[in-house]
Chains A and B, each alone.
Chain A
Amino acid sequence: MARTASRNIGQSIPRLEAREKVTGRAEYVHHLRLPGMLYGKIFRSTVPHARIKSVDVSAAQALEGVYRVVTIDDIREAIPHPYYGPAFHDQPILADGKVRFAGEPVAVVLAADPHIAQEAVGLISAEYEELPAVFDEVEAMSSDVLVHDVLKPAATFPDLKHLAGRTGTNVALDYHLLRGDPEAGFAAADHVFEHTYRSQQVMHIPMEPFVSVADAADGRLTLHTASQSPSFVRIEIARLLGWPENRVRVKVPYLGGGFGGKLYIKLEALVTALSLVARRPVKVALTMEEQFFMVTRHPCTFTIKSGVNKDGTIVARTCKVVWNGGAYADIGPRVTQKAGFTSAGPYDIENVEIHSYAVYTNRPPCGALRGFGAPQTAWAYECHMDEIAEALGMDKVAFRRKNLLQNGRPQATGTIVQDAALEQALDQVADRLNWNEPLDRGDGRIRRGRGIAVGFKGITAPTTSVAIVNLYADGSCGLYISTVEMGQGSDTVMAQIAAEVLDMDAAAIKVVHPDTDVTPYDMGTLGSRSTFHMGTAVRLAAEDARKKIAELARELGLPEGSNLPLPELFRRKYGMQAGNIIGTASFIPKYEKPDAETGHSRNATPFWGVGASGAEVEVDTETGHYRITKLVNVADVGTALNPKLVQVQLSGAGIMQLGFTTTEEMVYRDGQLTNGSLADYKIPTLLDIPPEFINEHVDSEQKDGPFGGKGAGESTTIALSPAIGNALFDAVGVRLTDLPLTPEKIFRALCEANGTPLAGE
């Protein structure tokens, strides 16, 4: 659609921080050292579930150069109730009487030399009384093994309050949705299909491993932390300490990758406690191996059942989604609810029932990871769609198109869908795959196939962003926001939005990085929300600044439209180069929390994230090895405010999900992670990029977004896995239900299909 040319919006302005990053000068907490700083190294549990009988730290304490060894008893001196978490206050700062996963922090050695601290960790020993453990999410639903004795929801989420004090269960949250009458729908349908699909546990692997530094002194605390949510860290640390927020300062420079891992609260509670106990600045920097024990993506078992008529109309669908949350809830209950309400897929279905469960197990905790559960649900509903189309003999694109949700129609919650370019995205993928042309399927050993999938996601709410635009006396501008620049390009895009309103060049705007003493509140840099939420707050703050410029001109008696340069206005007002104009605004999108029983909401999401993917594969039927020869991702990002940054986001998210689809999986034996390093856990490299790799956005507009824009960071993660799974089926006729899609699984399935099954795994 035609838009007026702008020097900012729709321009591929290079990243504002580009030079710092290519010269190696960019600031990360990774590099931070403070005078007198101690390093903390963590002693971790070696068993998945046990009572701690004793921890012997004497040899570690005696090592020359060790400042102190800290256990939960020491931490209680500084923080009497040392339990934290965004949704539940269930996670102890160090293990408290029990360990709930292998790898859980039990004690910390503090030393000025990190090598000495690490050596001392090896001198600590613990005695455990082992308890039976539960690792599988479905088993945990009904297991006698209880990971927690009692549920402890946090007060920050009022809709979890009813769970407080619940005992005898591993289910941390159950979300339910009912629309129409699914049982009647099934009874009346021509066909009923039911399948179960599973997603595996994977990890974010930011190249800058988790790191936080705390500096507590004289009743004040400064945290330097690689966090995606500085405002939340301040609030949660202030709660733990019983201090007012203004005594806790949280600073975040650039992040070396986040992907949802560095959200809410991670190492911050630990370093705070350590600094208070030691009365020195303390840094805890995890190794790559330790990252796997911090937070991960939920494994998920999803049973989906659909009633479908002969003409391909889906008349009823039920979803039972069980999320393996690991030992501590983190933000899992939110994932359960947010991904739960979209788990029937982007389809217009009259009768829908959804049950989505967050379940505790004895694994490392699971939280947000690029898609907030949407990729796991789409893996199930989009494989299921292909299986149904296959059984009905319908074209897979036509079957989807027939049932796709159109703008103006109610989604399962009852929320009317707006600005969701589902059909456009699906059609664009089909077009790029030449869907209507025949494919050379090969014969003999190598077989080819193609697959397609589409999905959507709801966006975090309720939520708030605040922005401050500061115009200095020379007319230059500082933008104060708590959005974290972690690679997505937020500094640049936010500057573009402010610059557009203020009629400046984006590159001339200084974006002030998160410092909770300086930058205002923002819920967090997460879930594709910054462009829409913070972008709107920035736009409104810049408009507020413009209004104040006009007021100043009026105050100075200038005629309307005199357009005196801003520095001259300041000089006339203050008699010299002095003063500021502060524009500020907050943005709270419309939201209605789902009804506790029906799951209905008239405003379930501030906007819809939409992604469609297509893949062509060739499979070696003698080995199960396959190549993805073409991969297409198409997203709806509204107006692309910075097309180059959008392109890199779509492509990067797609490649990340490609890893989660093909190779990545945290593998356990007896509750012990066996592949927690880059030597064994393989993430994509340059060799893994498909020869034809297309990433595009549709021509669309998010009408209530800033200059028509919305989030782009997760859309291409949603539908990629099922597109590949569907392509593999198309090539060789075997259906893999469990991620990742490994050559071994394909080979086993082929042998099974040929009537010569291999022996057990």
Chain B
Amino acid sequence: MSSPRTIRFTLNGEPVSATIMPHETLVDVLQHRFDLRGARESCGQGLCGCCTVHVDGKPVSGCLFLAVFADGARVDTVEGLARGDALDPVQEAFIEAGAFQCGFCTPGFVMMVKQLLKEHPEPTDEEVRHYLTGNLCRCSAYPEILDAVKLASARQAEAARRA
């Protein structure tokens, strides 16, 4: 195996560094070096979305994304969403809509919905279905996830109108 190297990146707004092996994935590094549990490896093939994090503002499958490529990047995870006790509106909407059961896929969905609402602030049902089709929920809280996206979108629009 090859030798370790040091990477520096911004993690949820804080500058951090880690000495890692080149084969380590971003999920490995987030879990084992920074004790962040939100992004989880499930299928290991980038097909289920449980490991979704944002790198430079774009969602990636953390189980396929080699951590060395995060060098110099901005990495945002579900742990960076809440402000103290105040949850992000998407997290609030997931709770209110009952949009999860076992919760294992939930952080991945929340991160994907953040991006969805950035790109489509008021998405149609079809847009939501297509955008989130790469996130799998075996408990199948899909109808409630759709509700949660609508709820978060409405809240976001309401907040924008007030601002």
Contacts and interface: CB of A to CB of B under 8 A. Distances in A.
Interface stretch (B67-75, B77-85, B155-163): B77-85
Given A23-B79, A207-B48, A487 B103 contact: yes
Contacts of A259: 138
Nearest to A657: B140
B141 A23 contact: no
B102 A254 contact: yes
Nearest to B90: A22
A510 interface: no
B44 A288 contact: yes
Interface in A14-32: 14-15, 17-26, 28, 30-31
Contacts of A648: 98, 101, 139, 141, 144
Given A24-B36, A24-B78, A487-B102, A678 B95 contact: no
A684 B138 CA distance: 8
Interface in B1-39: 1, 21, 23, 31-32, 36-39
Given A22-B91, A678-B48, A686-B128, A205 B138 contact: yes
Interface in B129-155: 129-130, 132-146
B104 A256 contact: yes
A611 to B, nearest CB: 16
A207 B136 contact: yes
B55 interface: no
Contacts, number: 167
A488 interface: yes
A689 interface: yes
A206 interface: yes
Nearest to A20: B103
B138 A207 contact: yes
A693 B143 contact: yes
A209 interface: yes
Contacts of B43: 288, 677-678
Contacts of B40: 28, 30-31, 207-208, 256
Nearest to B78: A24
Interface in A250-307: 254-259, 287-289
Given A25-B37, A687-B129, A256 B47 contact: no
Interface string A448-485: 00000000000000000000000000000000000000
Contact of B101 (A19, A208, A487, A678): A487
A748 to B, nearest CB: 28
Given A207-B137, A648-B144, A26 B44 contact: no
B79 A24 contact: yes
B142 A655 contact: yes
A206 B48 CA distance: 11
Given A23-B87, A487-B102, A677-B45, 11 more contacts: A24-B39, A24-B107, A25-B38, A206-B138, A256-B104, A647-B98, A648-B139, A655-B142, A678-B48, A686-B146, A689-B146
B95 A28 contact: no
A683 interface: yes
Contacts of B36: 24
A332 interface: no
A111 to B, nearest CB: 12
Nearest to A688: B142
7 contacts: A22-B100, A22-B107, A207-B138, A651-B141, A654-B140, A684-B140, A686-B146
Contacts of A131: none
B102 A255 contact: yes
Given A23-B82, A687-B129, A656 B138 contact: yes
B47 to A, nearest CB: 4
B106 interface: yes
- Find the residue from A24, A26, A115 having the highest chain B CB count within 10 A: A24
Contacts of B42: 207-209, 256, 288
Contacts of A743: none
Contacts of B104: 28, 30, 206-208, 256-257
Contacts of A21: 100, 103, 106
Given A288-B43, A652-B141, A687 B98 contact: no
A36 to B, nearest CB: 15
Contacts of B87: 19, 22-23
A441 interface: no
A21 B39 CA distance: 12
A502 interface: no
Nearest to B81: A23
- Find the residue from B43, B91, B132 having the highest chain A CB count within 10 A: B43
Contacts of A209: 42
Main secondary structure of the interface of B (DSSP, over half): loop
A644 B106 CA distance: 18
A368 to B, nearest CB: 16
A17 B103 contact: yes
Interface residues of A, number: 59
A655 B45 CA distance: 23
Contact of A645 (B23, B95, B98, B142): B98
A489 interface: yes
Interface string B84-112: 00010001001110101111111100100
Nearest to A28: B104
A288 B132 CA distance: 20
Interface string A677-696: 11100011111010001000
Contact of A22 (B23, B110, B129): B110
Contact of A287 (B44, B106, B142): B44
A461 to B, nearest CB: 26
Contacts of A18: 95
Contacts of A116: 1
B103 A256 contact: yes
Given A22-B110, A23-B82, A257-B104, A651 B94 contact: no
B85 to A, nearest CB: 9
A275 to B, nearest CB: 21
A678 B47 contact: yes
Contacts of A207: 40, 42, 48, 50, 102, 104-105, 136-138
Given A208-B42, A685-B133, A687-B130, A254 B103 contact: yes
A652 B101 contact: yes
A392 interface: no
B95 A14 contact: yes
Contacts of B50: 207
A562 B120 CA distance: 61
Given A22-B106, A23-B87, A652-B141, A678 B136 contact: yes
Contacts of A653: 140
A22 B136 contact: no
A486 interface: yes
A257 B139 contact: yes
Contacts of B94: 22
Given A19-B87, A24-B107, A488 B145 contact: no
A258 B138 CA distance: 10
Contacts of B141: 648, 651-652
Nearest to B39: A24
B133 A687 contact: yes
Interface pairs A-B: 8 shortest CB-CB: A24-B38, A256-B104, A21-B103, A487-B102, A487-B101, A655-B140, A24-B107, A22-B91
Contacts of B105: 207
A255 B105 CA distance: 12
Contacts of B136: 207, 678, 683, 685
